[in-house]
Amino acid sequence: MELILAILIGVLFAAGTYLLLRRSIVKLVMGIVLISYATNLILFNASGLVQNGLAFLNKDGSYDKMTDPLPQALILTAIVIGFGLTAFLLALKYKFFKITGTDDLDQLKETDAS
């Protein structure tokens, strides 16, 4: 399964990169979302996939099939943070379009070389 997951992550990364290299800001945001999915999966991969394993203890502290709970906690944090960032990025995108009237990233030149 690790192999399948690794391929999936690779594909997500590739698709994200491709979208980041497009000129549309919407695609850029989508690219970032895809790459952040992929990084979450990298963390998930680190917990050493155990099918039907749970990060739960029984009442007496015993457990049946345990998966590494730490990466899960990290992913949880990362998902929430990622959501915050994406939301901000979308708001920025919205405001940018409202003020400049363009979605084309190649039009963003004037703040660079003068």
DSSP type of residue 66 = B
* Positive or negative: CA dihedral 41, 47, 50, 53: negative
Give the nearest distance from C-beta 31 to other proteins in angstroms.
Answer: 9
Binders of other proteins among 12-31, rule CB under 8 A?
Answer: 12-30
* Positive or negative: CA dihedral 53, 57, 62, 68: positive
Binding mask 40-79 for other proteins (x = CB under 8 A): xxxxxxxxxxxxxxxxxxxx-x-x-xxxxxxxxxxxxxxx
Give the nearest distance from C-beta 82 to other proteins in angstroms.
Answer: 7
Q: How far is CA 57 from the centre of its chain?
A: 29
- Residue carrying the six token digits 């899960």: 72
Binders of other proteins among 74-103, rule CB under 8 A?
Answer: 74-100, 103
Give the nearest distance from C-beta 16 to other proteins in angstroms.
Answer: 8
Q: How many residues bind other proteins (CB under 8 A)?
A: 107
